[in-house]
């Protein structure tokens, strides 16, 4: 069957259509993506402005039309931190439902972490042992740890690259003092959660998912996305520590010229790098592997698990 998953994230609205059935690997068939950067459209009161809501409604409508054109039998639509944290979330969800027919399910931060962990576990398998997952989105950082498919611990922190950039790094390039202040803020926030995971012992394998980790690995020398899903890609803390001051000295336009960095993500790459560096340092991670599957795949896998046996 062909399934669609519509992910309304803090950076993008992304429709992924896959051909799948229970017990099989879902095969990507079509992808539609639009950059809205909702995390940066929140006003001072924490609401998504009417212009942002209008753009969101139109984009979801276009994505649903694409899903219909591509033969999706069902579309699972969900929203993450940008909508979840908006003070006018109910208004946004009502507008979307009334004007597009999509009933967006708002995932909790812990649900995000658990579903992304499931995707990483299925990709890397049982041989990965105790798995530590780090995922940096536009609005939040998800951390999960465990040896089974359901993690023993999972948290979501308000440390997304888009959210932090909008709130803490107004300059281009950013002011040195702003970067230092953000570094302290990020490390203090992650530091409060380290103890919750430390009691389980060190992980056997550490995985980083999300566009931020992929871009950081790419500028540090990892293979291109065009080389395929099965090429191993890693990011070392040493490389990241070398790149953070370089990124801090660059303008967004200069960062967009780096290999693998898209123009729409260049502005927030520094904030993402500060979060990645802090997480790897505080969790004592020397190297992590980039995981190609993340939240969307986790949603699909959970849906397939609930299908009756064929």
Q: Which residues 6+ apart lie within 8 Å of 287 measured at CB?
A: 206, 234, 235, 236, 237
Domain membership of residue 187 (yes or no) is: yes
Mean pLDDT throughout 117-128?
97
pLDDT in tens, 173-219: 999 999 999 999 999 999 999 999 999 999 999 999 999 999 999 99
Percent of the chain beyond pLDDT 70? 100
Percent of the chain beyond pLDDT 90? 85
Domain membership of residue 306 (yes or no) is: no
Domain membership of residue 301 (yes or no) is: no
Predicted local confidence at residue 20, as pLDDT: 86
Please report, for residues 66, 176, 230, the alpha-carbon distance to residue 4 in angstroms, rounded to integers and kept in the order given.
10, 44, 23
Query: Which position has the token pair 């649903």?
Result: 64
Q: Please say if the pLDDT value at position 43 is more than 90.
A: no
Predicted local confidence at residue 100, as pLDDT: 95
Q: Quick one: pLDDT band at residue 310, thresholds 50, 70, 90?
A: low
On whether the CB atoms of residues 273 and 136 are closer than 8 A, the answer is no
CA–CA separation, 133 and 122 (whole Å): 13
Phi, psi of 132 (to 5 degrees): -110, 125
- More confident of the two residues 309 and 120: 120
Residue ranges of alpha helices (H) inside 108-262 are 109-124, 161-168, 176-198, 211-219, 237-249, 252-256
Of 106, 127, 143, at which residue does a domain stop? 106
Number of separate domains in the chain: 2
pLDDT in tens, 49-58: 898 899 999 9
**What CATH number does the domain containing 250 carry?**
3.30.420.150
**Same structural domain for residues 96 and 116?**
no
Q: Which domain holds residue 222?
A: 109-295
Of 63, 80, 106, at which residue does a domain stop? 106
**Same structural domain for residues 60 and 191?**
no
Q: Please say if the pLDDT value at position 3 is more than 80.
A: yes
Q: Which residues 6+ apart lie within 8 Å of 77 measured at CB?
A: 5, 6, 8, 60, 102, 103, 104, 105
**Same structural domain for residues 187 and 289?**
yes
**Same structural domain for residues 71 and 142?**
no
pLDDT in tens, 243-283: 999 999 999 999 999 999 999 899 999 999 999 999 999 99
Q: Please say if the pLDDT value at position 293 is more than 80.
A: yes
Q: Quick one: pLDDT band at residue 10, thresholds 50, 70, 90?
A: confident
Predicted local confidence at residue 192, as pLDDT: 96
Domain membership of residue 309 (yes or no) is: no
Indicate the average pLDDT of the chain: 94
Domain membership of residue 300 (yes or no) is: no
**Same structural domain for residues 196 and 262?**
yes
Q: Quick one: pLDDT band at residue 299, thresholds 50, 70, 90?
A: very high
Mean pLDDT throughout 110-135?
97
Mean pLDDT throughout 225-251?
96
Domain membership of residue 244 (yes or no) is: yes
Q: Please say if the pLDDT value at position 42 is more than 70.
A: yes
Predicted local confidence at residue 289, as pLDDT: 98
Predicted local confidence at residue 280, as pLDDT: 98
pLDDT in tens, 63-122: 999 999 999 999 999 999 889 999 999 999 999 999 999 999 999 999 999 999 999 999
Domain membership of residue 307 (yes or no) is: no
Q: Please say if the pLDDT value at position 171 is more than 90.
A: yes
On whether the CB atoms of residues 151 and 111 are closer than 8 A, the answer is no
**Same structural domain for residues 35 and 11?**
yes
Predicted local confidence at residue 41, as pLDDT: 75
Q: Which residues 6+ apart lie within 8 Å of 248 measured at CB?
A: 173, 174, 176, 179, 270
**Same structural domain for residues 35 and 94?**
yes
- Through-space distance between the first and last CA atoms of the chain, rounded to whole angstroms: 12
């Amino acid at each position: 069957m062909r399934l669609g998953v519509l992910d309304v994230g803090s950076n993008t609205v992304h429709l992924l259509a896959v051909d799948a059935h229970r017990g099989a690997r879902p095969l990507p068939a079509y992808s539609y993506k639009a950059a809205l950067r909702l995390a940066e459209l929140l006003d001072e009161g924490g609401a998504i402005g009417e212009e942002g809501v209008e753009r969101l409604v139109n984009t979801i409508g276009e994505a649903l039309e694409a899903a219909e054109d591509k033969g999706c039998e069902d579309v699972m639509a969900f929203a993450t931190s940008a909508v979840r944290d908006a003070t006018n979330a109910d208004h946004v969800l009502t507008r979307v439902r009334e004007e597009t027919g999509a009933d967006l399910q708002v995932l909790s931060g812990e649900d995000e972490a658990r579903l992304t962990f499931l995707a990483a576990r299925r990709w890397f398998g049982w041989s990965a042992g105790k798995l530590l997952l780090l995922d940096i989105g536009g609005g939040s950082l998800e951390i999960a740890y465990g040896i089974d498919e359901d993690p023993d611990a999972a948290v979501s922190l308000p440390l997304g690259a888009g959210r932090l950039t909008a709130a803490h790094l107004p300059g281009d390039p950013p002011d040195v003092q702003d970067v230092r202040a953000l570094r302290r803020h990020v490390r203090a926030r992650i530091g409060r959660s380290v103890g919750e995971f430390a009691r389980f012992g060190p992980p056997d394998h550490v995985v980083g998912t999300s566009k931020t980790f992929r871009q950081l690995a790419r500028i540090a020398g990892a293979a291109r996305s065009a080389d395929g899903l099965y090429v191993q890609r890693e990011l070392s803390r040493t490389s990241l520590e070398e790149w953070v001051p370089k990124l801090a000295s660059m303008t967004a336009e200069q960062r967009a010229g780096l290999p693998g960095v898209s123009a729409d993500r260049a502005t927030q790459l520094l904030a993402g790098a500060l979060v990645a560096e802090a997480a790897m340092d505080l969790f004592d991670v020397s190297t992590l592997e980039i995981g190609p599957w993340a939240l969307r795949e986790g949603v699909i896998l959970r849906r397939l698990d609930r299908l009756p046996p064929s």
